[in-house]
Amino acid sequence: MNWEQPQLPSFMVKVGDLLRKQGSSDTISLVDFTVNENIHHLSGKITLTSASEEELIVITKGVERTQHATCDYCAKEFDTIKASHDEMYSAILANDMPEENDDLILPIQSNMNLDLYPLLYNVTMFYNDVQNICEDCEKRLVEDEKASLDSTGPSNIVFK
């Protein structure tokens, strides 16, 4: 029986020309971009800037996606737009990678390809809210909280 390791998704970008021209930049625009069945409807920009012949600065800007969710309160299905913070990463030639690799360092392969899948995966992981609340329930919760504050009246606590 032959067992093959599952192929991970990838989003390869050739960066050899960019690395040769220190200080040069290139921007990748994402418009309704799909990475896989879980990461789709992405929009935003990824800017690659050459810092040296071995390193790129990678910045995500305005990355957002449409997410289909089910409200935790009323069970209604809805679509919502989730936006991430702009992030900065470093991409380094794989043979120059530090031993303790963190999520903000991406390896540039020896064939001068940079796989942006890990970056897109990390950015979209921040979209996972603890709760999914539809617009109607969110309005109701805000109104209930406001009504609760209004009914208690001013506080009787006196500070001296």
pLDDT of residue 91: 93
Residues 6+ apart with CB under 8 A from 127: 65, 67, 82, 84
Closest CA to 19 of 50, 59, 46, 47: 50
pTM of the model: 0.71
Query: Residue 78 is inside which H or E element, if any?
Result: strand 77-83
pLDDT of residue 1: 46
Mean pLDDT by 10 residues, the chain (160 residues): 56 92 93 76 93 94 86 91 86 78 82 90 72 90 84 58
* Contact present, 117 and 89 (Cβ < 8 Å): no
Residues 6+ apart with CB under 8 A from 10: 115, 117
* Contact present, 63 and 29 (Cβ < 8 Å): no
User: What are the beta bridge partners of residue 108?
Assistant: 93, 114
Which token pair is 69? 């969710």
